[in-house]
Amino acid sequence: MSGKVCIVTGANTGIGKATALALAKHGAAVVMLCRSRERGEAARAEIASESGREVELLVADLSVQSEVARAASDFAASHARLDVLINNAAVMMPRRTLTADGIETMFAVNHLAYYLLTNTLLDLMKASGSARIINVSSNAHRFIKALDFDDLQGEKKFGTLRAYALSKLENIYFTYALARRLQGTTVTVNALHPGVIRSELNRNLPAFAVWIFNKFTKPTEEGASTPLYLATSPEVEGVSGKYFDDCREKKTTPISYDVEASEKLWQLSAKLTGVDATACM
C-alpha cells in the first residue's frame, strides 16, 4: 500500500479506527474523516504512534451535507489521488431524529453520506488509476423483506433496529447501482459485513441494550479484517459489485438484487443530495 492514499470515515473509534491503523501499518497514507476534532486528533496521534507513520485528520459531520461536500473539496484541493475510500461511519439512534438538513439521521449518515461523499470524490478516484470503494454494510440488511419508498425516513413507522437494517440494505443497493455505472473504468466498489463487532455504534442505546450487545460481540480488531482485505488484497483486483463476509464473497437477500429498486433509490438520493444523477453514467 506504499504510495496509496486512503480515506476511512468514522476512523476515530471501532472498526474505522482499527482499519485505519491496519492500513497505516501496511504503508498507506491514511486520511481519517471524523466528526469530532478532539476525538479524531486523539485517535490520529495514537494511530501515528503505533504505526510509525503520519496520519491526516479531516473533520466533518457526515449528517450535514454541506460538511460532507466541504470535506471532499478540502481533500481534493490537497491531494492529487485517492486510491481507497472506505465508507464506514454509521450511527444507531434510539428514537427518530432529524439532521440539520431535515433528514432522518440514520438515513442521512448511514446512506446519504456514503452516496454524496463517493460521488463527489469519484472523478479523483477515476484519475488515480486502479481505485477501490468499500462500503461497510451489515447482515442486518437481511431483516428487511421489502423496501417501502413511501416511508424510507420512518415518518409513518420508526424502529431503531428496522431503520438501521434498512440503511444497511441501502448501502448494498448503492454498491450494486454504482458498480453498474463503473463498468469499463478502473474503479471498483464492493460492500461487506464486518461481523457482529464490539464498537461505539450502540452508544446511544439504553445501558442494558449496550451490555447485551457487548456480551455477544467480537473484538473490534476482527471487524477490520474484511475492509482491510478489500482494500489491500490482489485477490479482489478488478472485482466489483459484490458483497463480502469474513473475506469471502457471499450472496445478499433476493430483494437486494432488485435493479428497479436500486435505481429508484439512486435517483431519490441524487435529488436529496443535489448530485447529478447521470454524472457517472
Q: Residue 4 — pLDDT band, cuts 50, 70, 90?
A: very high
Confidence band, pLDDT 50/70/90 cuts, at residue 201? low
- Quote the pLDDT of residue 265: 97
Neighbours of 237 (CB within 10 A): 9
Average per-residue pLDDT for the chain: 92
Structural domains of the chain sorted by starting position, each given as residue range(s) with its CATH number in brackets: 5-273 (3.40.50.720)
Average pLDDT over residues 229-255: 97
Average pLDDT rounded to a whole number, residues 120-145: 96
pLDDT band with cut points at 50, 70 and 90 for residue 153 = very high
**Of 164, 173, 176, 243, which is the active-site residue?**
164
Average pLDDT over residues 105-129: 97
The stretch 107-122 carries a mean pLDDT of 98
Establish whether 164 is a catalytic residue: yes
Here the cell at position 167 is: 440503511
pLDDT for 101 beyond 90: yes
Q: Is pLDDT larger for residue 75 or for residue 220? A: 75
Looking at residue 109, its pLDDT comes to 98
Report, as an integer, the average pLDDT of 162-181: 97
The whole-model pTM stands at: 0.91
pLDDT in tens, 68-98: 999 999 999 999 999 999 999 999 999 999 9
**pLDDT tens digit sequence for 12-36:** 999 999 999 999 999 999 999 999 9
**What average pLDDT score do residues 242-248 get?**
96
| Residue 62 confidence (pLDDT) | 98
What's the per-residue H, E or C state across the chain? CCCCEEEEECCCCHHHHHHHHHHHHCCCEEEEEECCHHHHHHHHHHHHHHHCCCEEEEECCCCCHHHHHHHHHHHHHHCCCCCEEEECCCCCCCCCCECCCCCEHHHHHHHHHHHHHHHHHHHHHHHCCCEEEEEECCHHHHHCCCCCCCCCCCCCCCCHHHHHHHHHHHHHHHHHHHHHHCCCCCEEEEEEECCCECCHHHCCCCHHHHHHHHHCCECHHHHCHHHHHHHHCHHHCCCCCEEEECCEEECCCHHHHCHHHHHHHHHHHHHHHCCCCCCCC
Q: How confident is the model at residue 216 (pLDDT cuts 50, 70, 90)?
A: very low
